[in-house]
Structure 1
Amino acid sequence: MGIELELRVRQASRNKGRRDTVVRRSHAHGDALARALDGVSHGRLAQVDPYRDTRFTEQDAQAALPEVAALLRERTLPSEQAALLDLAAMLEVCVTTPGSSLWFIGD
């Protein structure tokens, strides 16, 4: 079981109204990210479903940043640390990119 990340931005399309465009992906830390988030029982990160897709808005991403910082202090495995740092970077881009959303792609 792994969780992959996709940063998407909503853009206008001439023929179909609005559509999401994937602007950044992270597939390198899927299993480690799932382990790092396992057991999170409160906050925004508790909403991530490892078996389904979960969408975070810019506001969700902002709320999740301190939660990731707390997890970084708790998780000691290098693979989980790397996964959480990658997640933090993606959340920060989401927060600062209007019209974006961060998708957690579950298995």
Structure 2
Amino acid sequence: MLSTLDPHGPGKLGGVDPYGDTLFNEQEAHVARQEVAALTEGCGDPQRKAALLDLGELLEACAATPGSYLWFMGD
């Protein structure tokens, strides 16, 4: 799902590098959490929707914890 997002668009999730590492702080996680909510609404595939919900929980935990980071580890 994230690969369909514009890497130069206004959101944060489009900038997640599938081959390198990407790090979000709690402010970025808060913004990305809102993007996940929108993606989840438009997702018809149950497995992708479950993955998005899991990602949303991780982003929510990061956003709620000052000084925390969420690290996306690329290929």
TM-score by length of 1: 0.64
Higher-Rg structure is 1
> Identity across aligned pairs (percent)?
53
Deviations 1:37-81 (A, max 9, x none): 111112100110111110001010011111101100122111110
Q: Give runs of ≥4 in structure 1 deviating > 3 Å.
A: none
Q: CA RMSD in A?
A: 0.8
Query: Which ranges of structure 1 fall in alignment gaps of 5 or more residues?
Result: 1-35
Q: Could you say which structure has the higher helix fraction? A: 2
Specify the alignment match of 1:95 in structure 2. 63
Deviations 1:57-107 (A, max 9, x none): 101001111110110012211111011000000001001112110011111
Q: Give the one of 45, 48, 54 matched to 2:16.
A: 48
Specify the alignment match of 1:58 in structure 2. 26
Alignment of 1:5-84 (within 5 A): 36-41=1-6, 42=9, 43-84=11-52
Query: Which ranges of structure 2 fall in alignment gaps of 5 or more residues?
Result: none
TM-score by length of 2: 0.90
How many pairs are equivalent?
A: 72
- Secondary structure of the residue aligned to 1:106 is coil
